[in-house]
Structure 1
């Protein structure tokens, strides 16, 4: 119930404003009214108990002084007139009489005190509209939290997801240089440029170049077209099986399917076999078959 009640005191006043929260407007109004009346009843009971305690204490004190006054009167009656002892006893009797009179006045004053705990200035009325939920507040908070969650998710994805989504991710997430980005339907010029770069990296002499696929489907035509372009430039045999003892290799990486971890592991395996990894070539995850392959399959 404490969570449903709010009490406010306006500045420079002795007024209490009581707010009560409930599921409907009628219950909210009834709750505020009930708490106001309960507060006044509690003040009445507290004041009555305090007043009764004071009256009881005065009554006890009055009875005690009254008894002492009766004893003093009896003592005066037994003493000789004009004696010093009687003078002292009469003075004590006078003092006790004044105390009885004063205590009686206080007791009578307490009996006439009227207990006024306060009053309800205005009756609780059902609210015209709900105080919660606040649509603008919830929309603003939801938008802010959504942006915060989206930003956090994007940051986490960028840091934790190691997939190579674009060609630029190769050099950013791995240590390999990007030799070429082969589009879905590449023209011969793209393979001639790639072949020229491979030859300059291999140097003179005969070489066995491995085209290792990672995350691709149908990468054999790429190897064939690269081999054809290399045949016009240098004595280089393009192979696709690591068991054929290559001395150099390039990695054919399918975008959105290959992770930087897979690339690192592949490079480590090739280096242990004595193969120099020249770099990486990115391709779409699924490559179309060439016209020559289609004729052979027909």
Structure 2
């Protein structure tokens, strides 16, 4: 239902599976609405008339008693004057209520009328293709954004080199590509040597979420051997004084990194930073290292 602004018109519509049923439903609702208004108005009017009739009956009884009381009092006495005044007041009240009662009896109940009969619609009101397409697009974008946000916050895997400092707070020492050239290991070795300083050191290479740590450790050790007396080891029992974490992209989580850092800290080993490596390295790289 709807009421247009600045009008006393009530618009009624009805939803059904076919036009004929929709028109019949709207017409039936309008007829039932008018019958209900008529019945409600008639009940209200009857209740008001009943209340007036009860009050008139009471006043008539009081007026009759007042008349009998006046007849028993002597003329000119003060008591008769008071009784006559009371009788006059009761008479005016009876007259006023009688007028109201008669006015209510003449009221005609008009609940309203149907201005135009319902007609079957020429076109369905739903589904609205533009509305559905727009809503679906908006909800899809909203769901996609929510899923991406949840994945970014709940998935703690290191997916790219840029995730290292954001998820682990460790410095990124190098990002080893799938086919790394010797220059990448020379730059990594130079940075590690500068962090360790002068003197003999044992550098532990810790593999996390990857199976490519062996070739990387060997190539890093070869590059370091030309720069400083630094031995690269892969066993924590060799008493290293520093460590580098090898993080397999899309396999290592920030929780694993935090646990490794705490474990090494308890052993007195300083973690210099992290090196990201792809999940797998080409077999040619492994073969070259094994035959070199």
Which residue does the alignment assign to 2:287? 291
Correspondence for 2:243 among 233, 246, 249: 249
Which residue does the alignment assign to 1:214? 208
Which residue does the alignment assign to 1:176? 170
Which residue does the alignment assign to 1:160? 154
Range moving further from structure 2, 265-274 or 13-22: 13-22
TM superposition shift of 1:268: 1.1
Unaligned runs of 5+ in 2: 61-90
Query: Is the CA contact (8 Å cut-off) linking 1:174 and 1:263 kept in structure 2?
Result: yes
Tell me the secondary structure at the aligned position of residue 13 of structure 2: strand
Range moving further from structure 2, 133-142 or 174-183: 133-142
Which residue does the alignment assign to 1:149? 143
- Residue correspondence of structure 1 range 11-26 to structure 2 within 5 A: 11-26=5-20
State whether structure 2 residue 222 is matched by structure 1 residue 228.
yes
Whole-Å separation in 1 of the counterparts to 2:47 and 2:191: 107
Instruction: State the Cα RMSD in Å.
Output: 3.7
Query: Is the CA contact (8 Å cut-off) linking 1:211 and 1:249 kept in structure 2?
Result: yes
TM superposition shift of 1:135: 2.2
Distance 1:280 1:42, change over 3 A: closer
Whole-Å separation in 2 of the counterparts to 1:266 and 1:127: 72
Unaligned runs of 5+ in 1: 1-5, 66-95
Residues 65-90 of structure 1 show CA distances to partners (whole Å, capped at 9, x for unaligned) of 9xxxxxxxxxxxxxxxxxxxxxxxxx
Whole-Å separation in 2 of the counterparts to 1:271 and 1:41: 86
Correspondence for 2:131 among 128, 137, 150: 137
TM superposition shift of 1:117: 4.9
| TM-score, structure 1 normalization | 0.72
Whole-Å separation in 1 of the counterparts to 2:47 and 2:214: 105
Residues 19-69 of structure 1 show CA distances to partners (whole Å, capped at 9, x for unaligned) of 2222332221111111222233345545666479959x88xx89xx9xxxx
TM superposition shift of 1:140: 1.9
Larger Rg: 1
TM superposition shift of 1:12: 4.7
